Structure 1
Amino acid sequence: MKPVFKLGLCAVVVASLAACSSSESRRQASDDFEYLESAPLSEWQNLPDQQPEFSGAYTIPNRDFAGPTGRNIDIRPPQQILELIPGARYERDAKGVTVWMPREEQSERVWQTINTLIEENQIPVRTSSIDGVETDWLVWTLEDDDEVIESRYTVVPVSDRSRSGFRIDMIEWKRNGQAENVSVDMRDRYSAQMTNMITSRYDGDLREEARIRAAQLVKNIPISLGKDRSGLPVIIARAPYDVFWERLPAILGQLGMTVEDRNRSQGTLTVKYKAPDDEFWEEIGTKPLQLDRDNYNIQLGDLGNRTSINVTDSAGKPIAEEQLASLSPVLVAAVERLNLN
């Protein structure tokens, strides 16, 4: 009975703490604020005949600084921009966010994404033209906000020499239905939120298209062992990176490899290998993989209409050439086996 009683008491305490934790308390520091009562700076007084020596490293500029103090300071970490577009650059400033796309066709594609969000009314619009979009009120619901936050933006295309992309600026802000002067921190947080909304949809649409193409093209993925530019062995799959990336987990699953982690923008997969039984190898008609039961890292490289495949062990060392050579025909057999299912 005693352990049960203790567990019940802990549960009550946790529940009480959770109930007392509001979005306001999660945004505020809980320590003392005695620094707000500090005496103002005074002029340094030198002793008679003293030659003062000062370092400019700690000089405080002589001007007024505007900003929150004490409990008005939002202690939450900044809203991160999800870097879902490989090669894109994100520039944040006091007014908003600029996203530079790596290629012109990607810039055009992101505007297709924005237009799709507008058509689906996920981005309500007041005005729209070739020069950009002025949104209506977007309502944000975040875990750490009990308040109703609304904001409006302009989203415009930008270009600079050979670069192109889009720019997001917040133009109005409301809290619980009341218009307010937005702080720099809130402008930064919700400009990043708007950016993530667009880039997440862009990434999701590309993934879905790649999945469909992968399903259509999986029957025609020649795989062979070759050499890279430095003469080292590498497996080459004659399929675009996006297509092969979407299909590879299913192929690896046929071989007893469980994908534990993967990063599409970096082209990396972490897999755990457990060798299938002899019956499996007889069924697919290849020799067993010359791999130990271990974790492996698979690195894919984008070669245009082809994809390179490199494998390293759990220590980060490339597997031996004979091991890589044993993987190539097994991947081919796994693709063929998927085609029959």
Structure 2
Amino acid sequence: MKCSRQLVLSSLAVLVLSACSSSPAERRQAKDSFAYLDAKDFHDWTMPKDAQSHYYPNYQIPKGDYQGQVGQNVDIRPPQQILNLVPGARSQVQNGKVTLWVVKKSDADSVWRAINDMVDSGKLPVAKKSHNALETGWVRWTSKDEDSEIDTRYDIERVQANHRYGIQISLVQWRQKESQKEATIPQRQRYTAYMTNLVTTHYDAERRAEERRKAKAMVNNIPVAMGTDRSGLPVIIARAPYDIFWQRVTTLLPTLGFNIKDRNHSQGTVKVRYVGIDDDTLAQHGLKPLDLQTGSYTLLLGDLSNRTSINVTNDKDKPIPEKQMKQIVAAWKALIDKPDSKNSQ
């Protein structure tokens, strides 16, 4: 199966040096002269008669058959960096291959699930696929640094070595202007890094989305119960960290009949006016009206690490009776057990 997708490099934070270049080639090339390519070959040094030579190895040029680009073919762009978006992962780049190493198998499983999600959602074309490996279809890249669009294909597989688990990405085919050719090592490294960053970016987006879903579920379903403070006085205890509970209490109070007048996150105070729970909410959740007089109240929230305490005082800064606090707890529980669209937002 032959597939093609176009991926814009700007989404992968590709840096482009845009000095005064007028063409993609000039963006990849040094601005200085390439006259050194026309330099004459070296010749043996002829020592004057009776002169004594002294040899210093400081600037000796090693002998060997070195392969590499010269002149206008030298790519001056900085190497593409691997984005550190997988917690605890270390990237290894070797011969144009990139391997993301993690210690926990569960972390490798998460990255592999992200890759499969890219395939299932059509973001990554696939030619062949097995349980622990896949071969992509043609992936098209567009960049201002290149003379034309570039198509690449990759092998992506799970690997394991030295009690570590990894995802290895290798570039297997490359073509430009619809003609296949062998990619240079710098090109292999750059475009393998692009694909690796595409995977890690998708993984990071999925992880953040899952964290948001968990946070929303936690905000919408915070258990509350009666407790006591250090002085033995009754307080309401919410089983959620302070910042999480703060988001929930300010959205739920109006449903409980409290209109918010003022709030201060750093001080943990919420000033409200009780006007009573509306009849529709009472009927929908099987509630009874709170035994509170219409008027001003203050909620004082305390940070207990993984829990939050709530003290409720009247307009005279006196704690309300325990009976009334129990009514608030009962109403809260009813709203959690049977949330409506207003409360779940």
TM-score (norm 1): 0.59
Hey, what's the Cα distance between the residues in 2 that align with 1:99 and 1:285?
Answer: 44
If asked which structure has higher relative contact order (CA below 8 Å, sep 6+), I would say: 2
Aligned residue identity for 1:54: Y
Report Cα offsets for 1:220-276 as digits up to 9, x if no partner: 499xxxxxxxxxxxxxx966xxxx9xx77x96xx9xxxxxxxxxxxxxxxxxxxxxx
Map of 1:53 onto structure 2:
55
Map of 2:127 onto structure 1:
126
Which moves more between the two structures, 34-43 or 202-211? 34-43
Measure how far apart 1:207 and its partner are: 0.5
2:113 equivalent to 1:112: yes
Map of 1:151 onto structure 2:
152
Aligned partner of 1:280 among 256, 263, 267: 263
Measure how far apart 1:23 and its partner are: 1.9
Report Cα offsets for 1:134-186 as digits up to 9, x if no partner: 22211112343351100111111111121001111111100111111101111
Counterparts in 2 of 1:167 and 1:283: CA distance versus 1, 3 Å: closer
Aligned residue identity for 1:52: H
Hey, what's the Cα distance between the residues in 1 that align with 2:304 and 2:109?
Answer: 40
CA contact (8 A) 1:139 1:151 kept: yes
Question: Unaligned 5+ residue runs, structure 1?
Answer: 1-16, 223-236, 255-277, 288-325
Task: Give the structure with the larger helix fraction.
Answer: 1
Hey, what's the Cα distance between the residues in 1 that align with 2:265 and 2:195?
Answer: 53
Aligned residue identity for 1:191: T
Counterparts in 2 of 1:209 and 1:63: CA distance versus 1, 3 Å: same
Measure how far apart 1:68 and its partner are: 1.6
Measure how far apart 1:24 and its partner are: 2.2
Counterparts in 2 of 1:29 and 1:19: CA distance versus 1, 3 Å: closer
Give the length in aligned residue pairs: 236
Aligned residue identity for 1:53: Y
- Identity in percent: 33
Please tell me the root mean square deviation across aligned C-alpha atoms, in Å: 3.7
Counterparts in 2 of 1:120 and 1:340: CA distance versus 1, 3 Å: closer
Question: Unaligned 5+ residue runs, structure 2?
Answer: 1-17, 225-238, 251-260, 271-300, 311-342
For the residue of structure 2 that corresponds to 1:280, the secondary structure is strand
CA contact (8 A) 1:284 1:333 kept: no
Aligned residue identity for 2:193: A
Map of 1:275 onto structure 2:
none
Aligned counterparts, 1:157-172, within 5 A: 157-172=158-173
Report Cα offsets for 1:116-149 as digits up to 9, x if no partner: 1112232222221235112221111234335110
Counterparts in 2 of 1:284 and 1:89: CA distance versus 1, 3 Å: closer
CA contact (8 A) 2:302 2:309 kept: no
CA contact (8 A) 2:127 2:137 kept: yes
Q: Which has the larger radius of gyration?
A: 2
Hey, what's the Cα distance between the residues in 2 that align with 1:221 and 1:92?
Answer: 48
Counterparts in 2 of 1:195 and 1:44: CA distance versus 1, 3 Å: same
Hey, what's the Cα distance between the residues in 2 that align with 1:46 and 1:145?
Answer: 50
For the residue of structure 1 that corresponds to 2:269, the secondary structure is coil
TM-score (norm 2): 0.59
Map of 1:96 onto structure 2:
97
Counterparts in 2 of 1:221 and 1:199: CA distance versus 1, 3 Å: farther
Hey, what's the Cα distance between the residues in 2 that align with 1:327 and 1:148?
Answer: 58
Measure how far apart 1:282 and its partner are: 11
Counterparts in 2 of 1:61 and 1:117: CA distance versus 1, 3 Å: same
